[in-house]
Amino acid sequence: MALEALACTFQFLGGGTAGVCLNGMIGFGMVMGISGEVCLQTDQNGIFGTASYSVPWDRNYSNYAVGSGLGVVVQGSDARTKNDLADQFSFLNGGIGYVQGGYAWGNSSVDGRPVHVGELGLSAPTISSPGSGAAGHSNTLVSGYWYNYCDPIPCDALNAR
């Protein structure tokens, strides 16, 4: 019910996505980094998954990073639907102690419209790396819908179901 109410909100606003993600990264002295993130997300149509990665052996999806860590974040975007999140994005993220945040930007793979993604959450820094940061380019893979809301959802702005 709560996710369907969120979906109605996205319909009312004309789009948006929200989700919970697990992420990890390791940096090698700002020379190169490896990072990844998997998310369970929702938009106005249903529930889906995303996976993003950035690796040094692919020039198109590489990053510069320092430190290492694992974390869980809440993510939101202004994407109209899940398909706007696919393909290449640029990103900045960092963490200090047990807090992390990030921002990514790119263009919709559907219509080229700018898309912005923000996230904030908790991290588990390693003993050797109490802080971390990365900047670069990532590739995002988007699943099909794992669960479709009623199509279309009869949303009433005052009584969202």
Quote the CA–CA distance of 139 and 51 in Å, as a whole number.
8
The answer as to whether 153 is a domain residue is: no
Q: Give the count of domains, the chain.
A: 1
Is residue 160 one of the residues assigned to a domain? no
Pairing of strands 68-77, 147-148: unpaired
Residue 150 per-residue DSSP state = P
Judge whether 69 and 25 are in contact, CB under 8 Å: yes
Say what the pLDDT of residue 150 is.
65
Which residue ranges in the chain fall short of pLDDT 70? 1-7, 9-13, 30, 125-129, 150-161
For residue 86, tell me if it sits in a domain.
yes
- CA dist 84 and 148 (Å) reads 17
> Is residue 6 in some structural domain?
yes
> By residue range, what is the domain housing residue 95?
2-145
Q: Does any domain span residue 152?
A: no
pTM of the predicted model, to two decimals?
0.84
